[in-house]
Chain A
């Protein structure tokens, strides 16, 4: 029994050490697996979801402007407390009593700097303080997209001359974003590859069809307009020269944006 008693503690210690090393290796492998899954799977999907949410906000932003301008109300979506007050003041509130408290527990002092969320329009001064609004948007955006587009100011002035009242304050950020997308799409189509038209046909054709229309329809986020574009896709797929002409107009802005990029 003694040799076994002599052997047992050392064996036990060895076994314990081996088990400890094994457990540590397992922990290490688990951590590396976790890191890989987070970096390779979760974060790209979350970023895609964020991009989709951006698209949704861009497409639904006209609803905000519509409600604001119909109600003649300065509805700050950035500040949830103001929204709560507005909703309570509107008096139709079926579901507002409990929701805003639960929805916005911490966001009282936080300001959203997302460009899609900026619906703060002073309704009376919308046409007057438009440039100030532009600059405010430009300075407050963190994404940097809007900051890169000072060259579109000429385009913007042309568009501002084109008397669209409904989008005058709020549509500017949308226009800039959409213009950026258009510019990137056109750059891809012109310089990247003439053969690979791998972009989504709705976007491409919307670009193809909006550029002729003095880019005035850049707020065209309504489903009707998209539908029209998709309808026109089948019919106007053939006439390439028109698109070439409009590429020439858009390539100036594209070159300007490229120089800025």
Chain B
């Protein structure tokens, strides 16, 4: 009983801190979810950008191949 009476203030403090931690984690969770949404939208945009880059690269490759095949390729200026 003495030991529990001794532990009680610490327990209260710890319970207070734990409740604060829980609140902090909730806030953190919300912010992380918003961040995830942002990153998701950015991922979609970047996927489109990457597709465009692939298209341009393929276009470049085909142009180089055609220029080589027709012998019209000239050295860079």
Contact = CB atoms under 8 A, between A and B. Distances in A.
Interface of A: 10, 13-14, 17-18, 20-21, 24-25, 27-28, 31-32, 34-35, 38-39, 42-43, 46-47, 49-50, 53-54, 56-57, 60, 63-64, 67, 77, 80, 83, 87, 90, 92-96, 99, 103-104, 107, 110, 112, 114, 116-117
Interface string B23-46: 011011001101100110110111
B24 A114 contact: no
Nearest to B48: A117
B68 interface: no
Interface of B: 3, 6-7, 10, 13-14, 17-18, 20-21, 24-25, 27-28, 31-32, 34-35, 38-39, 41-42, 44-52, 54-59, 61-62, 65
Nearest to A111: B44
B49 to A, nearest CB: 6
A57 to B, nearest CB: 6
Contacts of A95: 54, 57
A13 B6 contact: yes
A239 B10 CA distance: 76
Contacts of B61: 92, 94
A24 B45 contact: no
Contacts of A104: 47
Given A13-B6, A83-B51, A114 B45 contact: yes
Contacts of A56: 45, 49
B29 to A, nearest CB: 9
A24 B17 contact: yes
A120 to B, nearest CB: 12
Contact of A93 (B6, B7, B50, B58): B58
A102 B58 CA distance: 18
Contact of B35 (A13, A28, A38, A83): A38
Contacts of A54: 45
B58 A92 contact: yes
B55 A67 contact: yes
Given A67-B59, A94-B57, A95-B57, A46 B35 contact: yes
